[in-house]
Structure formats: C-alpha cells, structure tokens
Structure 1
Amino acid sequence: MAEAPWITIVGLGEDGPEGLSPASRDALGAAEIIMGPPRHLALLGDTEAEQIPWPVPFADGIEILRGFQGRGVVVLVSGDPFWFGAGRAISKAFARDEWRAIPASSTFALAAAQMGWPLEDTLCLGLHAAPLQRLRRHLAPGGRAIVLLRDGAAVTDLAGYLSEQGFDASAMTVCEALGGPRERISHLSVAEALTGSFSHPVCVALEVAGAGPVVPCASGLPDEMFKTDGVMTKRPMRALTLSALAPRPGEHLWDIGGGSGSIAVEWALSHDTCTASVIEVRADRAALIRTNAEAFGVQDRVSVVEGSAPDALDPLAVPEAVFIGGGLGPAMLARITRLPAGVRIVANAVTLEAEALLTQFHATHGGTLMRVEIAHATPLGPKRGWSSAYPVVQWSVTL
C-alpha cells in the first residue's frame, strides 16, 4: 500500500485549472487516476493520469474508488467538498489517514460576494439532493437564503414551490456557473423564474417575501398546518407534550400511536439532528404521517413503522425519549418502563381506564402526573361560553 493519504479531494471551480491552488496542481500532477463528474473532467481537459467519470448514483463511485486503494487518486468536486459536498461521503467511507482535502471557494461564498450578504447571517442550503420542502420551515418575510439546486430545471421547480406556499413576492437571483467564463447572474421575480431557462451548475440567492403562513419557532404549530383525519394531539396539548419530551440535538423519539404524526414532525423540526420512529397500526394514518413529514421536509428523519406496539418496537434502536399517544395498556407501559435508565417517557390519557393505569405507574416509577383541562370560548346563543375539551392526564418520567 502506498503512503497515506492516497486520496486527494480537490475543489474545482468553473474556471477549471486556471483557478487551482499550487497544492491542487501538485496533487493533479502526481495522480495516477483522476475521478470526477464528466463536467469537471471536461473543465480539467487532457491529463497524463487516467480519467474516470464518477457514476450516478453517487454511492456507486465509492466502491470504484475503493478498488484503487494504494494508488494516487484525485477526486474532483465542486468548490468546498465539506459544505454540502462529496467530502462527507468519502470521509465516512475511508479512514482519516487515507484522504486529504484541498478546498476551493464554495458556491455559497461566491454567491454571497455577488449579493453582498454576510454568510453568517445567511441561510445556506444544499437542495441538489434534497426535497424543496426542506426550505419550508425557513420561509418568512425578510429571510435570506442561498440554495444549491440539482440543475437548471430545479430553478423553475423552486419558483413554483414558493408560489404554492404563498411567497410569490420573493426575489430570486439565479447564479449560473459562478466564477467561470459562462457565469450568468439574473435578478428575477418568482413569475419570471417560472418561465425562464437555466443551466447547471446553478444556485439561487433568495430574498423571501409574501403572505404565506410562516412556521413558528415555538412548539405547538397551528393545527391547520397538518393534514389530519381528526386524530391528532391538538396545539395546546402538543406544546405541553413537546416541552415534557424536551428534545435535544441528536436524539431519537419513539412516537407510539402516531395519528397524524404531529408530535414526531415537531420533534424533528426542533433540531436538524433529531429523528423519530412513528408506530401506527392503521395504513391510512401512516400515509397521513408521511404526508405531514414531507410537507415540512423532515421525511428523511421521520420513519413510519406500520404495526402495533409493543411488538412493533422490538426491531427499533433504543430511543432517548418515548411518547405514548395511543394504544396505552399494561403491556405497553411494562415494555416501555424496561428501557434503559435515562430514557424520558411522556404518556397522555383521556379515558378513566388509561388515567388509572398512569396513576398506578406513577406510584411505582415516580415522575410527574399532571391533569390538564382546556376550554375554548364558543358561541352560546347570542353570547359566548366556555366549551371544554376532555381533560388529559399526562405522566412524564425519566427512567
């Protein structure tokens, strides 16, 4: 095996070899093999090293790269490989002493320089391999974002999505082939972007404006933001439940009896590293959960398990928190309370039987037992009166 590192990840700009640093030039000059997307290889031109196009899907290229172990390989990427780039996948697949990286200016940096936007105040999103819904939680008037897109057609898709969400007054600056001879900057309205033609590589600097509904930062999103068949933890109780669940970065939730999936979706929205498994026995409600997760762009972090607990829990990884919103019973609670110390449990009950069960487990395991009664003002003849919802008993405990 050759001396490590045998992989060099080289950031390449749209100006091709002209913009390469001396270290990048040296790496290319010493390479036996150069791998990269066909567009990058074309920018590089002829070389003494063997050139191998990186395949689609991207993961297939990792195995091809692995086959060259011990030889000097340069992998060409766009700009900074560790900002929504290929560096993530390569660094996960190979040991730290097998690779090194030489970044170039990122697309975000080039776009920010065009716009005069401080990067620390600008949302940067890579949506070239992610759904546009990932942007949903960030859509608020006055917001600024630089968004990487997969191809020119995705600019029109983004404009359509903004219009659907009620943010059709937004301004879009479309940046094509930044930093190279084909560079083109277009300042457009959403309506103009819908009819435009754009080429890859492309990003959009977005200034959000419009009257669309904004996703609040606090727990307890408006009920109307979710698709539901009526079975859903309503807004006030959802806010209390999420407060008791207390999501923290990197944690995983079991949401048992998911209904519409509102608890799991808000758990995932609390931090980009929070994940959830939703257990739901009904196929129609499982479909609703998936729809809601997609609407908020968290479908990659909210998985749906169709089945009944506690049996459906057995294959799942141990969570940091558990919410029981449905199917409450002795077997369920017995299974949940056998989880390791430190796991947080929150269970909500409406029926007298379920309330009695929570009272019993509270006596055994401790924690907090709380009864919540909520009433809303509703018309009462020509005047108004209080309409009470069923009281909810909530047990929360850290094992």
Structure 2
Amino acid sequence: MTRVCVVGIGADGWDGLSEPARDRVRAADVVLGGSRQLDLLPNVDGQVRRAWPSPLRDGLVPLLDDLEGTTVVALASGDPMVSGIGTTLVALLGAEAVEVVPAVSSIALARARMRWSAETTDVVSLVGRDPHLVLRWLGPGRRLLVLSSDERTPAVVASLLVEAGYGTSAMTVLADLGGPSEARVDGAAQTWGDRESPRLNVIAISCAAPYDVAPLALVGGLPDDAFEHDGQLTKRDLRASALARLVPLPEALLWDVGAGAGSVGIEWLRAHPSARAIAVERDPERAARIRRNAARLGVPALGVVEGAAPGALADLVRPDAVFVGGGATRPGVLEACWDALRPGGRLVAHGVTLETEALLARWFGEHGGELTRLQVEHAEPIGGFTGWTPARAVVQWAVTKGHHDAESS
C-alpha cells in the first residue's frame, strides 16, 4: 500500500514551511500537487513532480497504485484536513497510510485578520460544492467564514444573501492570505454586485437582517411557511416530535418515505452538516418542489428519488433512520423499511386514518417502541372571539431496531 505524507503549504510558499516539512519534501521521490503549489517549490534533482489527476477522486487510486514503492509527498493548501486533500486521502487509503504535516490554514489566518474567535465563528466550505449550502447557516449575529470555490463565489454568495433577506450583512473578501499579494475588500451583500475577486479567497460574513425576516433555527420545527408545499406537509409540531425520535447524527442516513414537501429530510440535514438524507416521492411535481425547498433552506445535497415505495427503496443505501410520512398502508412499505434499517436505527411512522392506526398498532405490538397519539390545536377567530381549532389527530409509532429484530427480519 502506498503511504503518503501530506504537507500543507501556504501562499508564502517554500519560505513559510518549517524545516521538518522542507525535509519531507526534499526526501520525496514524487511530489503531487496543484500546478500553483508545485511552482512554489525549489528544484530537487531527480524528483518527479506530478499534478493532480482530473477528475481528482477517480484518478487518485490508479495514480497512487503506479507510485507503489516510492516516497510520496502530496502538497495541500494550508491545513490539509480543512476541506483539503488530506481528508480525501485518509478516506481512500485509511488513516494509517497518511501522515499529515499542516501549515496555518486560511481559516486561521482569516480569523486572525477579522479578530474573530474560533468559538464565535462557523466555517462553510463551498469548494466544489453548491453555494446554496451557505443558506443553512444564516441567522442574525452569526459569523461565517466561507471557503470560496473560485473568483465568482463572493458575488454568488452575496446574491444568495440578498434573496434570503440578509442583504445588510457585512462581507469581507480576504484574498491570497499569507502571501505577498494578500488583499482585503469590505462591503455589504446588497451592494456587492457581480464583481470578481482574486481566485484564492475566503469570505467573512457578519449576518444581519431586518427584524421582519424570521430566523430559521437548526433545531427541528421550522415554520410551515418556510416550505413551499401543496398541503402535503408534515406540520411543524409533528415534525419536531418526529425529528426528536429520529435523532439526527453526524453522517447518518435518513430515508424520508412519502416525502411530500421534503420537510423531514430537509430538517434532518440542517441538524448536522455531515448528515445525509434521501427523499422518496412518487409525484414528479412534489419531487421538484422538494429540490427547490432543499436548495432554499441550505441543504442542496438532499437526494430525491422519484418513485413509489416499496419498489423505489430497493437499490438505496441502507438507512440509519426512516421516516414514513405517507403511504404506510401500501403493501410492503413498512416491511421494506424495517428490513433495510440498520441495527440501532430509528423508525418513525405517522398515520391519520383508522387503517394506518390499526397497522401501526399491530407493528407496535410486534416490535415495541412508542405509540403516541398527537393532537394539536391552534387558537383561531370564532366570530368576535377566539377559540381552539383542532387539526386531525396523528398516530405516531417510533421504535429503535434491536439486534434481535435485525436477526429475525
């Protein structure tokens, strides 16, 4: 197995490397990196320099296989484990095959330039990602450091902030941090326009919005009007209850079956940036609506599968949690979800009809868990007075799959 030493290098190039980092570069048979990074190194007799393959991830394994038996150094920008090649190499080769020698990251330099503490700052990487991701993090008073993908990213982000009602947010573009051409440009999102910035940049955002722009929390239970929908929506209070029992966790995968507007899958993804979710919806118009909701609420990575369960579930990655918001009585749906669920996984199903209630009661009798009837009432006008208007009662079955259940399913 090829072993790789990943060396972080800043915009100040060779001069900014520590002596141990320089020793590793000098001793390497092969140095991998971007052309800009390779150009920062002095010549080393007999050393092979190779640029990263394109596409990167697909080309890495055959490239490293060709380098078996050689001493390999890979160059990374700043800290290799901050949206860097170090993370990719660890995922491909395993931690034992990768040594990491970091430099000061652009995020650390940006915090220093802005005088922002790590504790009060959130980091968002848009490198090779959909810029709508930044919308997940918006909230009055939040500080964001955004790793840009290219010279157009600041203008795109500014436009997204304006559309979301955060046009008064202060933006600072910090370019070529740590290098001789370091530069800074300050402004507001609403006046940023379409100007380009230097290609290597970090965006610092102090989020601000008028009082009538409702902040959207990262905990479950967004307002119903945060979602575009046609009435097929798991309402706010029921959604918060379901998410509390689904327990969003880092890197965990949720199936949102019969997704409607996609609200449960979207809130699952908003709970943690590494969470994963797939919304399964048979209606094409609703599936398109789910995609729009996901982008607008900052989780464009939500997978959307158009098709009816259980057939549409057959080739999906096994989930860590499943929410069945509609179609539980369709033959085979609960069985398919239960069989696919990993041991220790959570399943939550909702029902409003007598038929679904009877089905969930039977599954509760067989597998245990919690069977809860939820009734929500809202105060609404009654003539010249105010009274309680009840919504339909919803039966909620929530259960954790045990190892015994997994063995018998």
Same fold (TM over 0.5): yes
Distance 2:146 2:332 in 1: 48
1:102-251 to 2 correspondences below 5 Å? 102-211=101-210, 212-251=213-252
Distance 2:30 2:38 in 1: 12
Distance 1:70 1:324 in 2: 51
The Cα offsets for residues 126-156 of structure 1, whole Å up to 9 and x where unpaired, read as 2122222222222112111211101121111
Distance 2:49 2:139 in 1: 45
Alpha carbons 2:310, 2:333 under 8 Å: kept: yes
Q: Which amino acid aligns with 1:306?
A: E
Other-structure match for 1:100: 99
Distance 2:363 2:96 in 1: 52
Structure 2 residue corresponding to 1:349, chosen from 348, 351, 354:
351
Structure 2 residue corresponding to 1:41, chosen from 24, 31, 38:
38
Q: Does 1:318 align with 2:326?
A: no
Other-structure match for 2:305: 305
Q: Which amino acid aligns with 1:70?
A: G
Identify which range, 161-170 or 119-128, moves more after superposition: 119-128
Distance 1:381 1:98 in 2: 73
3-state SS in 2 of match to 1:285: helix
1:376–1:188 distance in 2 versus 1, CA, 3 Å: same
Structure 2 residue corresponding to 1:368, chosen from 343, 367, 370:
370
Alpha carbons 2:10, 2:178 under 8 Å: kept: yes
Shift of 1:261: 0.8
3-state SS in 2 of match to 1:277: strand
Distance 1:198 1:332 in 2: 51
Alpha carbons 1:165, 1:213 under 8 Å: kept: no
Provide the identity percentage.
Answer: 39
Identify which range, 159-168 or 379-388, moves more after superposition: 379-388
Q: Which amino acid aligns with 2:98?
A: W
Distance 2:65 2:135 in 1: 38
Structure 1 residue corresponding to 2:389, chosen from 387, 390, 395:
387
Other-structure match for 2:18: 21
Structure 1 gaps, min length 5: none
Distance 2:247 2:94 in 1: 35
3-state SS in 1 of match to 2:39: helix
Alpha carbons 2:130, 2:300 under 8 Å: kept: no
Identify which range, 179-188 or 324-333, moves more after superposition: 324-333
Alpha carbons 2:14, 2:41 under 8 Å: kept: yes
Other-structure match for 1:51: 49
Distance 2:251 2:13 in 1: 39
Scaled by the length of structure 2, the TM-score of the pair is 0.89
Shift of 1:79: 0.6
3-state SS in 2 of match to 1:357: helix
Identify which range, 254-263 or 122-131, moves more after superposition: 122-131
Shift of 1:176: 0.7
1:233-312 to 2 correspondences below 5 Å? 233-300=234-301, 302-312=302-312
Structure 2 gaps, min length 5: 402-409
The Cα offsets for residues 51-104 of structure 1, whole Å up to 9 and x where unpaired, read as 222243322551324322222222221111011111011122224454322211
Distance 2:239 2:97 in 1: 48
Q: Which amino acid aligns with 1:307?
A: G
Q: Which amino acid aligns with 1:375?
A: E
1:185–1:371 distance in 2 versus 1, CA, 3 Å: same
1:341–1:205 distance in 2 versus 1, CA, 3 Å: closer
The Cα offsets for residues 301-323 of structure 1, whole Å up to 9 and x where unpaired, read as x3222222223333233323222
3-state SS in 1 of match to 2:395: strand
Q: Which amino acid aligns with 1:51?
A: R
Distance 2:181 2:337 in 1: 59
1:147–1:383 distance in 2 versus 1, CA, 3 Å: same
3-state SS in 2 of match to 1:169: coil
Scaled by the length of structure 1, the TM-score of the pair is 0.91
Alpha carbons 2:144, 2:205 under 8 Å: kept: yes
Alpha carbons 1:252, 1:276 under 8 Å: kept: yes
The Cα offsets for residues 297-348 of structure 1, whole Å up to 9 and x where unpaired, read as 3233x32222222233332333232221111225333444555654432221
Distance 2:342 2:22 in 1: 53
Alpha carbons 2:6, 2:101 under 8 Å: kept: yes
3-state SS in 2 of match to 1:23: helix
